[in-house]
Amino acid sequence: MSTTLIEVRPARAADASAVAATHDEAWRSAYQGIIPGAELEKLINRRGPTWWDSAIRKGSRVSVLCFGDKVAGYANYGRNRARSLHFDGEIYELYLRPEFQGLGFGGRLFAAARRDLVQSGLKSMVIWALSENEPATEFYRALGGRMVARSSERFGEKSLDKVAFAWSN
C-alpha cells in the first residue's frame, strides 16, 4: 500500500515554475471559448515563472495544494481590492490543474486560504468569477458564497459579466 501526501502550504520561490504551469493549464481549461483566444494567450503568458517568483519573493499570499510532489493547485489572496464592497479579504485566484478538479481539492485550498485570511483579521471575504465560468460559479455557491455584486470586464473587444460571491463570519 502506498500513501500520497496531500498538503496545502505557502508557496516558495522554488514553486514558481510549477505555479506558472498550473496557471497555464487551469486558465486554458477554464476560459477557452469564453475569453477570446489572443487575449487569453496574453493573460497566460504574462504570468510565467518569473512573474510568480517575483510575487512569492515579495510576500504575496500564495498557497499551493500539493499532491505528492506535484503542485495541483494554488490560491492567491489578500485584502479586498474593491472599495465599494465592504468585505475585508479577497481570494484573487483559486485554480486547480484540470485532472485534480472535482476531487475535493478545491474545497481544501479554499478552506486553507479562508483560514489564513481570518487568522490575519480579515474575517469576511469576496471572490470574483466570470459568469460564463459555470464550474467556478457553482463551486462558490456550493461553498456557501452568496452573490453580492455584478460587474463586467473587457477582454479585447469582448465584455464579460462577472459576479462577486461573499462569505461573512
Q: Looking at the 3D structure of the chain, how many domains does it have?
A: 1
Q: Cell numbers 459555470 label which residue?
A: 134
Mean pLDDT calculated for residue range 140-161: 96
Q: Establish if 1 belongs to a structural domain.
A: no
Domain that holds residue 47: 6-167
pLDDT at 3 over 90: no
Q: Establish if 151 belongs to a structural domain.
A: yes
pLDDT at 50 over 70: yes
Q: Establish if 20 belongs to a structural domain.
A: yes
Q: Establish if 34 belongs to a structural domain.
A: yes
Whole-Å CA distances, 140 to 3, 91, 97: 30, 11, 17
pLDDT tens digits, one per residue of 93-122: 999 999 999 999 999 999 999 999 999 999
- pTM for this model (two decimals): 0.94
Q: Residue 150's domain is classified under what CATH number? A: 3.40.630.30
